[in-house]
A and B are shown apart, each in its own frame.
Chain A
Amino acid sequence: MAFWDYANPTRFLRFVQVVLPWLTGLCLLLFAVGLYMSFFVAPEDYQQGDTVRIMYIHVPAAWLCMMCYSVMTLSSIGTLVWKHPLADVSAKSAAPIGAAFTFMALVTGSLWGKPMWGTYWVWDARLTSVLVLFIMYLGLMTLWRTMEDPIKAGKAAAVLTLVGALNLPIIKFSVDWWNTLHQPASVMRFDGPTIHPDILWPLLVMAVAFTLMFFVLHLMAMRNEILRRRVRALRMRAASAAQPGPAGAAQPAE
């Protein structure tokens, strides 16, 4: 099974070496097409005017901040259940990227909101859920940073990621409830089945381009993390070899 073939970090690095140029090329191509479509092909919205063009980056960013958390959840299951050696590398490298996409979704959402709602921030259910997600990403990143041992940090972060994944639907539900309680939902809806193809196509192309960008960045960050752990293992081995005590006892633990 291909999933297990890449449990060996060296083999994984070679796989990245082969795949990365293709992925990057495809991603750049899709971005070129998607940006061209969203600026020159897609029409203005009859209600939102040109502001609808913000949606071509806002919706993919919002989609990716959810997808990134799903990737982290799968990786956490990989860490805790299958003890896959690359799973915590994947989870750790995904967190900053997910935080960046969440930040993009928040910024573009509030920049879209200013002309549409007349204010940069509305405690709208979706914006609020994304803000909570942002805090969770930052908390996970902090947890990774505060623990010295990457294996222990990986397990702790995996537990937190899974608890967060269980909680996210509850948070979404309760924020929706809270929102309908405090203000009637008069906000303009962008989703729904009646979306015009002229708008849908650029959106889809941009979504695929963003997804590819995530994978490119994720693979590169995973490669860095593997190298970082090698450096750490080598340094620890050098330090234990330098000491007269039980030398060579430390294993280079990838």
Chain B
Amino acid sequence: MTGWAMALFQRDLRLSVRVGGSALVGVLFFLAVVTVIPFGVGPDLNLLARIGPAILWIGALLATLLGLDRLFQADRDDGTLDLMLMAGRPLELVVLIKCLAHWTATGLPLVVAAPVLGIFLNLDPVSMAAVTATLLVGTPALTLIGAIGASLTVSLRRGGLLLAVLVVPLAIPVLIFGVSSADAAIRDPVPFLTPFLILCALSLIAAVVGPIASATALRFASD
């Protein structure tokens, strides 16, 4: 990785984990969502084990959506975004690196927390491992797709709610294949690898489409 990219990555990572950053709030929110579900559906352990992967995925989706509105907004507020636009570096790459840093700060903790929360949901080790693997592969796609929404709503003062509405339909394929491959690992209607590889493909598509669309939207928002 070239020097400026590494510097940008480290800067974004430091900003989001230090005091005033919101990296760990996402994990707390994830914990809160997973805790609330059994109060809604009842403490039936068999049922929880059956819908556990889905709960973890929906929790991760919501937690990712929650943190996305700060992806570009803080940089826009203090003018850093304008400097990045003028710096002459390819904006698509800047967006990709910012997304990576954001995912490392907010998405990776979710992946790490998933096995622990899986214990609450009575998941057996195999499905715990499967959910963690799918989250590891799938949450970058959520961040990258969310970056499109974040850059579209960057100029709005209260864009967080609109962002969620815009991003959720685009995130449906990731959710479907994430949950299916986690399910496929336990009750195999299809082999695990089939949906898992499609999930990987979705992440790769998002890694291309997300930065390009997001950079386009940022350029338009700035002029």
Contact residues of A with B, CB < 8 Å? 80, 132, 135-136, 138-139, 142-143, 146-147, 152, 155-156, 159-160, 162-164, 166-167, 170-171, 173-175, 177-178, 181
B223 to chain A, nearest CB (A): 9
A67 to B169, CA, bound (A): 19
- Given A155-B220, A163-B213, A181-B189, A143:B166 Cβ within 8 A: yes
Chain B neighbourhood of A80, CB < 8 A = 216
Q: Tell me, yes or no, whether B190 is within 8 Å of chain A by CB.
A: yes
From DSSP, what is the main secondary structure of chain B's interface residues?
A: helix
Selected from B153, B176, B213, B216, the residue in CB contact (under 8 A) with A178 is B176
User: Would A171 and B173 count as touching, CB distance under 8 A?
Assistant: yes
User: Would A164 and B180 count as touching, CB distance under 8 A?
Assistant: no
Chain A neighbourhood of B209, CB < 8 A = 163, 166
Please, which residue of chain B has its CB at the minimum distance from the CB of A156?
Answer: B152
B160 to chain A, nearest CB (A): 12
Q: Tell me, yes or no, whether B119 is within 8 Å of chain A by CB.
A: no
Interface centre among B162, B168, B176, B177 (most CB of A within 10 A): B176
Selected from A152, A160, A171, A173, the residue in CB contact (under 8 A) with B155 is A152
A189 to B189, CA, bound (A): 24
Please, which residue of chain A has its CB at the minimum distance from the CB of B149?
Answer: A160
Q: Tell me, yes or no, whether B126 is within 8 Å of chain A by CB.
A: no
Please, which residue of chain A has its CB at the minimum distance from the CB of B217?
Answer: A159
Interface residues on B, range: 20 to 34
Within B144-189, the residues touching A (CB, 8 Å) are 148, 152-153, 155-156, 159, 162, 165-166, 168-170, 172-173, 176-177, 180, 189
A240 to chain B, nearest CB (A): 20
User: Would B170 and A146 count as touching, CB distance under 8 A?
Assistant: no
Chain A neighbourhood of B152, CB < 8 A = 143, 156, 159-160
User: Would A132 and B172 count as touching, CB distance under 8 A?
Assistant: yes
Please, which residue of chain A has its CB at the minimum distance from the CB of B152?
Answer: A156
New contact pairs (6) apart from A135-B168, A147-B155, A163-B148, CB-CB < 8 Å:
A80-B216, A135-B165, A163-B170, A170-B202, A177-B180, A177-B195
